[in-house]
Amino acid sequence: MFQSYSDCIMEADDFFSQISFSDIIAAHLKMLLLLLLSFEKYYPKHEDPWRQNMWIVNPFLNTKRQTALSHEETLQLSSDEGLESTFNSVSNSKFWIKMKYEYPNLHEIAMRFLLCFSTTYHCETAFSAMTVLKTKQRNCLQLSDCLCLAITSIHSRINKLTERKQQQKSH
């Protein structure tokens, strides 16, 4: 995918031993620019979701609105001076939380961008539980039900379930 910087240095070792320091810096800059172009190939700027949704950061700036579904709502919101004073007095997230009932479509779009995953805790927990459940001895096991039981935060009440059942007597 991307060539690492150290790989570039190793490949150009003979080249660097024969030139001056300023040429080395120029070669490094060239490699970094090539890396940037390679990165932009995979992540083009025109597809950046933040560029298309800058109205979330400040809905009262006269910027081009990119959301076709809620174009009227963004225009209506940006022209409301009372909401602009509210926006200036609270944080961005609190403002969009307050807009839940007035502008539900805009609220939903803004919340998707503002509330990111804070940790990978749940993913790591599920993966650890899966490695415990899926062993060589139990490789045919259907993981979905067992994994749900392993990672749930609901605690089972086995004692309460078993006290209602009559024990089987031995012969």
State the DSSP string of 84-149.
HHHHHHS-HHHHHHHTTTTSHHHHHHHHHHH-----SHHHHHHHHHHHHH--STTTT--HHHHHHH
Q: What is the pLDDT of residue 63?
A: 54
Instruction: State the pTM of this model.
Output: 0.42
Q: What is the pLDDT of residue 152?
A: 78
CA distance 132 to 143: 11
Q: What is the pLDDT of residue 14?
A: 57
**Nearest Cα to 98, choosing from 2, 142, 85?**
85
Q: What is the pLDDT of residue 53?
A: 74
Q: How far is CA 9 from CA 37, 40, 139, in A?
A: 18, 22, 45
SS3 103: coil
For 2, the token pair is: 């991307």
At residue 63, φ and ψ (nearest 5 deg) are: -105, 165
> Across all residues in the chain, what is the average pLDDT?
76
Q: What is the pLDDT of residue 9?
A: 63
Q: What is the pLDDT of residue 41?
A: 77
Q: What is the pLDDT of residue 160?
A: 80
Distance of CA 142 to the CA centre of its chain: 29
**Segments of the chain with pLDDT less than 50:** 65-66
